[in-house]
Amino acid sequence: MRRQGGKYIYVPILATFGILLVAFAITLATITNKPVNSYAVEDETAYEGGSGNGYEFVETEGKNGVKYYVITKNTADSTSSATAAESKTSQAVTGTTANSTKGDSTTASTSTTESKTTSTTKTIRSSDEKIAYLTFDDGPSINTEKLLDILDQYDVKATFFVIYHKNMESKYKAIVDRGNTIALHSYSHSYSKIYRTEKGYYNDLNKIHDYVEEVTGVDSKIIRFPGGSSNTVSRKYNKSIMKTLKKSVTENGYVFHDWNVDSTDASGINRDPDLLVEKVKAGLQKKKPVVDILMHDTGKSKTTTVEALPRIIEAVQAEGYKIEPLTIESEAIQHNW
Ligand code: ZN
């Protein structure tokens, strides 16, 4: 009798365990079709890595006007068919954000980086020379000095595509004083402000241009569009804005730069530094003569970029690349779609 009673005690325990197991399995099965994460963005931090890395980034305004990005993984770093990517994206955004990516076949077809990157013809290197540009977006931040220290240790220079941050004048200056290139990204980094109209874009660009010139004395004509020239987020505000801007900035004497190697540090908060190093190494395996390596200088959420940087520099040099800062004459990596 006692033995029999003991058995019954296990029934509810086993049942509970079973239910939990099923719930876990369901969660696991559905998780790939949901936004992988959403981040509250206090300082309008960017997620440039998005579209080129199989992610879709949708700027959204939450309660109290707080902006955040809903980040949806289209495909798991894969090159699966456009149809598959499209349907997955559509599912993922349902009920979470505006339908900016629904039914958008162009978004789906751009889930591979290989097909959309190309370099322009401005060539100042000899034919067998390999050049790498280390580029940091969205700074300056509390990490800027740490990044500069590492760059100094390796005696290499990088490029910082800056945005406006208050009370950081000394950091903008440090970028320049220590021999790195300061370049323009955006004043506000607010997609809704810059990608609605051409005028809105230039209001913002002129503000960051003038601010950088006032603080550092540098009249920069080197720019990177928030989200890159191939971003799909802008279509939510103006379908043809990127086409307009790409032509227009060039006519106005600017050179815009995208990237062809993505550290993927923008695809999450403090991603594993080992992963960032691996992503860069994988990008280098494509054997392009000129690589522009995308990283971010955005403070607390990107401390692992600082951790990974020494190994990234070593990996780049081990592949025979010479690391240089961008200049107005540099060969620009521009997304071709
Ligand atoms: Zn950015």
Burial 274-283 (b: 16+ CB within 10 A, else e): ebbbbbbbeb
| 90-99, 109-118, 229-238, 287-296, range with the lowest pLDDT | 90-99
Q: What is the pLDDT of residue 173?
A: 98
Residues 164, 211: contact at Cβ < 8 Å? yes
How remote is the CA of residue 78 from the centroid of ligand 1, in Å?
Answer: 24
How remote is the CA of residue 17 from the centroid of ligand 1, in Å?
Answer: 45
Region of residue 330 (phi > 0: left; psi between -120 and 50: alpha; otherwise: beta): beta
* Pairwise CA distance, residues 138 & 292, whole Å: 16
How remote is the CA of residue 140 from the centroid of ligand 1, in Å?
Answer: 11
How remote is the CA of residue 153 from the centroid of ligand 1, in Å?
Answer: 26
How remote is the CA of residue 286 from the centroid of ligand 1, in Å?
Answer: 24
pLDDT tens column, 15-42: 666 666 556 554 444 443 333 333 333 2
State percent of the chain over pLDDT 90: 61
How remote is the CA of residue 237 from the centroid of ligand 1, in Å?
Answer: 17
How remote is the CA of residue 48 from the centroid of ligand 1, in Å?
Answer: 6
How remote is the CA of residue 44 from the centroid of ligand 1, in Å?
Answer: 9
How remote is the CA of residue 18 from the centroid of ligand 1, in Å?
Answer: 46
- Indicate whether 61 pLDDT > 90: no
* Pairwise CA distance, residues 177 & 175, whole Å: 6
Note the pTM of the prediction, 2 decimals: 0.69
How remote is the CA of residue 310 from the centroid of ligand 1, in Å?
Answer: 22
How remote is the CA of residue 215 from the centroid of ligand 1, in Å?
Answer: 20
Q: Furthest-apart CA pair in the chain: how many Å?
A: 91
Rg, the chain, Cα only:
22
More confident residue, 75 or 284: 284
The predicted model gives 121-143 an average pLDDT of 84
- Indicate whether 47 pLDDT > 80: no
How remote is the CA of residue 41 from the centroid of ligand 1, in Å?
Answer: 12
Q: What is the pLDDT of residue 14?
A: 61
State percent of the chain over pLDDT 70: 62
How remote is the CA of residue 268 from the centroid of ligand 1, in Å?
Answer: 14
How remote is the CA of residue 132 from the centroid of ligand 1, in Å?
Answer: 20
How remote is the CA of residue 139 from the centroid of ligand 1, in Å?
Answer: 9
More confident residue, 261 or 51: 261
Q: What is the pLDDT of residue 48?
A: 62
Burial 67-102 (b: 16+ CB within 10 A, else e): bbbbbbbbbebeeeeeeebbebbbebbeeebeebbe
How remote is the CA of residue 177 from the centroid of ligand 1, in Å?
Answer: 23
How remote is the CA of residue 47 from the centroid of ligand 1, in Å?
Answer: 6
- Indicate whether 138 pLDDT > 70: yes
Q: Pick from 137, 178, 144, 177: which is nearest to 160 by CA?
A: 137
How remote is the CA of residue 152 from the centroid of ligand 1, in Å?
Answer: 24
- Indicate whether 43 pLDDT > 80: no
pLDDT tens column, 227-238: 999 999 999 999
- Confidence band (pLDDT; 50, 70, 90) for 3? low
Alpha-carbon dihedral angle through residues 111, 113, 114, 119, given to the nearest 10 degrees: 140
More confident residue, 54 or 246: 246
How remote is the CA of residue 46 from the centroid of ligand 1, in Å?
Answer: 4
How remote is the CA of residue 320 from the centroid of ligand 1, in Å?
Answer: 28
Q: Among the ranges 29-43, 201-215, 323-337, which has the highest mean pLDDT value?
A: 201-215
Residues lining ion ligand 1 (Cβ < 5 A) are 46, 48, 137-138, 226
More confident residue, 299 or 1: 299
Q: What is the pLDDT of residue 336?
A: 80
Residues 44, 190: contact at Cβ < 8 Å? yes
More confident residue, 232 or 67: 232
Q: Pick from 278, 243, 246, 245: which is nearest to 261 by CA?
A: 278
How remote is the CA of residue 312 from the centroid of ligand 1, in Å?
Answer: 20
* Pairwise CA distance, residues 151 & 175, whole Å: 11
pLDDT tens column, 274-296: 999 999 999 999 989 999 999 99
How remote is the CA of residue 128 from the centroid of ligand 1, in Å?
Answer: 32
* Pairwise CA distance, residues 228 & 274, whole Å: 25
